[in-house]
């Protein structure tokens, strides 16, 4: 019995050794299994993951498999060098031998299942478009300023004014030079009453008055501005002394022309344009509203200067103001400065009467009231339409001379109250004074 048991053990060992030898031979015989072709190396942007079956457990025991023979090592998996690319080998059917490589293989107990990740998406290479360097635009050379300007004044004289103008004697137009911000260049001025000075910057009062030709010469100005009342002889004396003398007016249409050119002479073009634009806005507004009126829709107007009967006709700025505001001057067929008789005025029976107040009358409210009462109480005037309807207006000279645009607005509201109900001349006047002179509106300027 013992011999039989030993013989059986011997047979079993021989069978085991024979089977093991056959398995080892199968593993190491190079002709037993075809060598798989090399798999293409994936792009370095994605590394496939080899997922072993959950039952796979590395073991040092070599277990022959009918489908594949895999050599496994029980040692820990070494980390691949960062520069290495893992080799992934597909499993051909029915059998496969995995060639050993730098990366160790995982030995599953069942057939290994390689679960590759999704095919790596090859990201297109984006080449940044270089931002073109901005081409520097050549800086335009500033337009050289002229050395002089030739100005044609109201008399038609071509006056050459050398630039720059740093010293100005404004016998006239002190307010316009100030309005464009150049009052610091005024070294001499004309006479301005106290009320007029109150509507200008305080510094104007400190400027000496150029009361004579000799005084003007002593001031050594680059430019002298005078009115036609200055006298041809005096103008000639100053020009003969080498001074640039402009003779002009401060009422339209000369007013805007003078302001524009003063802007060039005094390097104040921007302010000159702003000033002209402000006045043009309101002048155009009045023109647009009255331009289609018929004569029957326009009131007849009697305008009186500083004395009874002294009026205005064609060629006079006061006449032009009446026409522009949509009125008909009763002295329309006379000369520029007629003296009208009381009978003429009564015969024309004006719808509106405008009396101008000057420094001779005083500027107090009582002066305005006195003039109105005197006008309405003249012989026969009680029968005139203007007196009957209470349309007798007193206006201060500054409003229709130095602030002509404001005067136009007052006239328009008096002549056509329905057309200009939205216009407040006093409010516009206040804005005007603050904007261009930096002062507040004070005092009385009209009365009705």
Helix (H) or strand (E) holding 386: helix 385-388
Residue in 344, 370, 339 with CA at minimum distance from that of residue 357: 370
Q: Where does 258-325 show beta strands of DSSP type E?
A: 300-304
The pLDDT tens digits of the residues spanning 246-256 come to 999 999 999 99
Same fold, 148-273 and 293-447: yes
Q: Are 108 and 55 in contact (CB under 8 A)?
A: yes
Confidence of residue 29 (pLDDT cuts 50, 70, 90): very low
Confidence of residue 439 (pLDDT cuts 50, 70, 90): very high
**Distance between start and end Cα atoms, the chain:** 158
More confident: 294 or 136: 294
Confidence of residue 134 (pLDDT cuts 50, 70, 90): low
Per-residue tokens: 4 = 């039989």
pLDDT of residue 17 exceeding 70: no
Q: Are 332 and 295 in contact (CB under 8 A)?
A: no
| pLDDT of amino acid 133 | 64
Distance from C-alpha of 397 to C-alpha of 403, rounded to nearest angstrom: 9
The pLDDT tens digits of the residues spanning 278-324 come to 999 999 999 999 999 999 999 999 999 989 999 999 989 999 999 99
The pLDDT tens digits of the residues spanning 320-377 come to 999 999 999 999 888 999 999 999 999 999 999 999 998 888 889 999 999 999 999 9
Per-residue tokens: 234 = 């005096």
Q: pLDDT over 70 for what percent of the chain? A: 68
pLDDT of residue 169 exceeding 50: yes
Residue in 389, 404, 229, 385 with CA at minimum distance from that of residue 322: 404
- Classified as helix, coil or strand, 342 is helix
Per-residue tokens: 67 = 């489908």
Architecture of domain 148-273: 3-Layer(aba) Sandwich (3.40)
Domain layout of the chain by residue ranges:
148-273, 293-447
**Cα–chain center distance at 63:** 89
CA distances 189 to 169, 207, 215, Å, are: 6, 7, 11
pTM summary value: 0.67
pLDDT of residue 224 exceeding 80: yes
Confidence of residue 66 (pLDDT cuts 50, 70, 90): very low
Architecture of domain 293-447: 3-Layer(aba) Sandwich (3.40)
Q: For residue 7, what are the contacts with CB-CB under 8 A and spacing of at least 6?
A: none
The pLDDT tens digits of the residues spanning 76-115 come to 333 333 333 334 334 444 344 334 343 444 334 444 444 4
CA geometry: angle 346, 352, 353, nearest 5 deg: 70
Distance from C-alpha of 320 to C-alpha of 166, rounded to nearest angstrom: 35
Q: Are 44 and 85 in contact (CB under 8 A)?
A: yes
Mean pLDDT, the chain, rounded, equals: 79
């Amino acid at each position: 019995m013992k011999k039989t048991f030993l013989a059986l053990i011997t047979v079993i060992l021989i069978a085991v050794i024979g089977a093991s030898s056959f398995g080892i031979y199968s593993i190491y015989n190079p002709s037993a299994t075809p060598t798989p072709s090399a798999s293409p190396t994936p792009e370095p942007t994605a590394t496939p993951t080899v997922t072993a079956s959950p039952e796979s457990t590395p073991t040092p025991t070599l277990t022959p498999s009918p489908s594949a023979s895999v050599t496994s090592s029980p040692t820990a998996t070494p980390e691949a060098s960062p520069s290495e690319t893992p080799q992934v080998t597909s499993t051909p059917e029915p059998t496969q031998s995995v060639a050993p490589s730098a990366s160790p293989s995982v030995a599953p107990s069942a057939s290994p299942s390689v679960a590759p990740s999704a095919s790596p998406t090859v990201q297109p290479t984006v080449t940044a478009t270089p931002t073109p360097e901005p081409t520097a635009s050549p800086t335009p050379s500033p337009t050289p300023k002229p050395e002089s300007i030739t100005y044609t004044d109201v008399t038609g004289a071509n006056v050459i004014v050398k630039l720059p103008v740093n010293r100005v004697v404004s016998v006239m137009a002190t307010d316009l030079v100030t309005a464009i911000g150049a009052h610091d260049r005024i070294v001499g001025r004309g006479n301005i009453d106290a009320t007029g000075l109150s509507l200008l910057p305080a510094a104007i009062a400190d400027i000496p008055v150029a009361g004579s030709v000799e005084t003007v010469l002593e001031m050594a100005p680059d430019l002298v501005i005078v009115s036609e009342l200055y006298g041809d002889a005096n103008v000639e004396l100053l020009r003969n002394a080498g001074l640039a003398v402009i003779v002009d007016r401060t009422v339209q249409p000369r007013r805007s022309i003078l302001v524009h050119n003063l802007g060039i002479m005094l390097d104040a073009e921007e302010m000159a344009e702003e000033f002209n634009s402000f006045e043009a806005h309101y002048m155009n507004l009045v023109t647009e509203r009255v331009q289609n009126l018929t004569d029957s829709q326009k009131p007849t107007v009697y305008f009186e200067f500083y004395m009874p009967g002294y009026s205005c006709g064609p060629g006079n700025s006061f006449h032009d103001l009446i026409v522009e505001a949509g009125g008909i001057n009763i002295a329309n067929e006379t000369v520029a400065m007629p003296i009208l008789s009381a009978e003429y005025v009564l015969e024309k029976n004006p719808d509106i009467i405008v009396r101008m107040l000057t420094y001779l009358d005083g500027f107090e409210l009582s002066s305005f009231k006195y003039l109105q009462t005197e006008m309405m109480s003249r012989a026969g005037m009680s029968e005139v339409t203007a007196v009957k309807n209470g349309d007798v207006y007193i206006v201060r000279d500054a409003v229709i001379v130095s602030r002509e645009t404001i005067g136009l607005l007052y006239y328009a509201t008096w002549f056509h109250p329905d057309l200009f109900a939205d216009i407040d001349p006093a409010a516009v006047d206040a804005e005007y004074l603050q904007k261009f002179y930096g002062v507040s509106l004070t005092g009385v300027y009209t009365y009705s």
